[in-house]
Structure 1
Amino acid sequence: MPATPLAAHPSARPAPAFRGRIGSDARSGHYAVPRRYRLHLSPADPDGLRIAVTHSLLGLDRACPVTFLPAVPDCPDGGHSALRPLYEASAHHYTGPALAPVLSDDWSGRIVSTHGPDIARDLARHFGGGRTSLYPCGRESEIEAVERMCAQGIEGAAQRAGAAGAETSRSAAALDTLLETLGVLDRGLGSGPYLIDDQITAADVELWVALVQLDTVHRHHLDADAVRRIAGLPALWAYARRLAAHPAFGVHLDLDAVNRRHHARCQGLEAAGSAVQILDWAAHSTPEKSEEEQARQA
């Protein structure tokens, strides 16, 4: 689908503490070697969910193992104690939070990157092994446009629309932006099963995670009328249901974990939209985690 890029705005994501790349700079020594790298993820976190879905679509269980982290970080600063040794080994006297996601190098015991988009791209480009191309040649600008729409027109707009104490005019403008963005995407999906061509790409991973967040997190801070208007986009939510049924997507969707993470971090006020569920995600997802994986995410 042709996506209209939004104007550039600062990203809501925190600045990454580490931003190494695999295979892009010979001086870094981060060559694309199977089983050299490890992911540390919490799929309850949007960045972690994006990477987990990407990892499953590419079939990288053997090439790049995953260590799953709890939904709610166990450190007061929002970090994970399990990641602290990696952070301290990677930066002298590191004092910041040990945040996920992390791509680490098992050879050196240090962190390569904590930047989610870079991690997903490097996995796809250097470990895809001929599987489905999540970043098809010549479509990069369209994928980037969808990423901006999700970050600014969905995630950012939904946060502003539901912000506690925000001026009515500001909330209304944010809701208009949200509905306009969703409408563009809904119309685009009316002509095909996926956003770009007839295959799943990184744009679909980005949008699906944004829709999960919209319904499981942001909806709780919007009024009921706003949620009903958001829900009234048939192509968009049919698409979300269809991807939830795909094993690479639905297996990573732990609604209880998302809810626990939301309530542990949330400082906003619950609104009437909390009672208006858009999708029954549990009915459409495919939770086929192993017992070991479930224990690690508990």
Structure 2
Amino acid sequence: MSATPSAAAPAFRGRIGCDTSSGHYAAPHRYRLHLSLPCPGSLRIAVTHRLLGLGDLLPVDLLPAVPDTPDGGFVSLRPLYEASSHHHRGPAAAPVLSDAWTGRVVSTHAPDIERDLALRFGTSGPELYPRGTAGRIEAVARMCAEGIDEAAQTAGELGIGHAAHAEPLGTLLDALGSLERCLSEQEFVLGERLTAADVHVWTTLVQLDTVHRWHLDADAVDRIAAHPALWAYARGLAAHPAFGTLLDLDAIARRHHARCRGREAAGAAMPIVDWNASAGRV
């Protein structure tokens, strides 16, 4: 298998309300994030949290790169899951937004957590969900999930010798081409300011280059790399302290190799982006 399988339905989908009339409302130090940064959903949440400067209001517990239970969960999260759902079945997986007042899980759904951080806690930092952009951000997120991540995974699983290989690879290249045209004309995905759409695109490009690339042949990787504006954009965001400093390439590799059972393709060993150099770690 070329990458992580499609995520299961989230176990919990509580939301943070706008005032005290809702069960969960924004309050300093009430909530805690539990994240495993090599996980794309956790990485998106961590970037959002860092962009909004929420470190003093909403602490983060960093979990190991590789889950430490046989079902793909984390031992440290099991008490939260059990307190929230008696005899919870399934893994105690990350990401998690927990409520310190109740000792229970609020949400395990990364997109909801990202939005609630931005809309309920985001009083400083960029406006990640500007008025009128919700539909466009959702469309970008869907393109990242289906047009890039799932397409790259399917292409890697099928392999170059499979008759159906060209279709998912074509879907992937079409999505990258759309972003290339966009970023050739403007600084960010939705225009001239950074939004949640950029968090989605950047974390998806990280996954494409650090995970999916290993299962694509050299010709496919060359075609993926042939989008100069897109990869320059990825390098530029990696230089931003809210993005690149959260990357741990060794941890991503450990997570990938622990989960992956597919064959690596010949000729795709060289990364498209030197992520460490882009983040200023050389």
Under a length normalisation based on structure 1, what TM-score does the superposition of the two structures give? 0.90
Encode CA deviations 1:80-121: one digit per residue, 9 max, x unaligned: 001000000100111210000000000000000000000000
Q: In the alignment, which of 217, 224, 227 is matched to residue 218 of structure 2?
A: 224
Superposition deviation, residue 167 in structure 1: 7.3
Q: Does the 8 Å CA contact 2:32/2:98 hold for their aligned counterparts?
A: yes
Corresponding position: 1:83 with 2:68: no
Partners of 2:190 and 2:267 in 1: how far apart?
Answer: 31
Partners of 1:240 and 1:215 in 2: how far apart?
Answer: 11
Partners of 2:170 and 2:267 in 1: how far apart?
Answer: 16
Partners of 2:124 and 2:60 in 1: how far apart?
Answer: 21
Q: Residue 207 of structure 2: SS of its match in structure 1?
A: helix
Code of the residue aligned with 1:87 in structure 2: it is: Y
1:142 corresponding residue in structure 2: 136
Superposition deviation, residue 25 in structure 1: 8.7
Q: Residue 248 of structure 1: SS of its match in structure 2?
A: coil
Code of the residue aligned with 1:121 in structure 2: it is: R
Q: Does the 8 Å CA contact 2:141/2:200 hold for their aligned counterparts?
A: yes
Partners of 1:166 and 1:24 in 2: how far apart?
Answer: 50
1:246 corresponding residue in structure 2: 240
Encode CA deviations 1:169-197: one digit per residue, 9 max, x unaligned: 32210000000110010010001110112
Partners of 1:41 and 1:254 in 2: how far apart?
Answer: 13
1:41 corresponding residue in structure 2: 35
1:263 corresponding residue in structure 2: 257
Q: Does the 8 Å CA contact 2:19/2:26 hold for their aligned counterparts?
A: no
Partners of 1:157 and 1:222 in 2: how far apart?
Answer: 11
- Root-mean-square deviation (CA, aligned residues, Å) is 1.6
Code of the residue aligned with 2:101 in structure 1: it is: W
Superposition deviation, residue 12 in structure 1: 2.7
2:191 corresponding residue in structure 1: 197
Corresponding position: 1:72 with 2:66: yes
1:283 corresponding residue in structure 2: 277
- Paired residues for 1:19-58 under 5 Å: 19-23=13-17, 29-58=23-52
Q: Does the 8 Å CA contact 1:38/1:65 hold for their aligned counterparts?
A: yes
Change (3 A) 1:202 1:261: same
Change (3 A) 1:27 1:95: farther
Q: Does the 8 Å CA contact 2:32/2:100 hold for their aligned counterparts?
A: yes
Superposition deviation, residue 198 in structure 1: 1.1
Q: Residue 243 of structure 2: SS of its match in structure 1?
A: helix
Superposition deviation, residue 274 in structure 1: 2.9
Q: Does the 8 Å CA contact 1:161/1:175 hold for their aligned counterparts?
A: yes
Corresponding position: 1:212 with 2:206: yes
Structure 1 moving runs of 4+ over 6 Å: none
Q: Does the 8 Å CA contact 1:160/1:170 hold for their aligned counterparts?
A: no
Encode CA deviations 1:99-144: one digit per residue, 9 max, x unaligned: 0000000000000000000000000000001431000101111111
Q: Residue 77 of structure 2: SS of its match in structure 1?
A: helix
Pairs aligned (count): 277
Q: Does the 8 Å CA contact 2:159/2:216 hold for their aligned counterparts?
A: no
Superposition deviation, residue 27 in structure 1: 6.7
Q: Residue 95 of structure 1: SS of its match in structure 2?
A: coil
Code of the residue aligned with 1:191 in structure 2: it is: E
Partners of 1:209 and 1:57 in 2: how far apart?
Answer: 14
Q: Residue 67 of structure 1: SS of its match in structure 2?
A: strand
- Paired residues for 1:123-202 under 5 Å: 123-164=117-158, 168-202=162-196
1:234 corresponding residue in structure 2: 228
Q: Percent identity?
A: 63
Superposition deviation, residue 275 in structure 1: 1.7
Encode CA deviations 1:157-177: one digit per residue, 9 max, x unaligned: 000100057972322100000
Code of the residue aligned with 1:72 in structure 2: it is: V
Q: Residue 145 of structure 1: SS of its match in structure 2?
A: helix
Q: Residue 40 of structure 1: SS of its match in structure 2?
A: strand
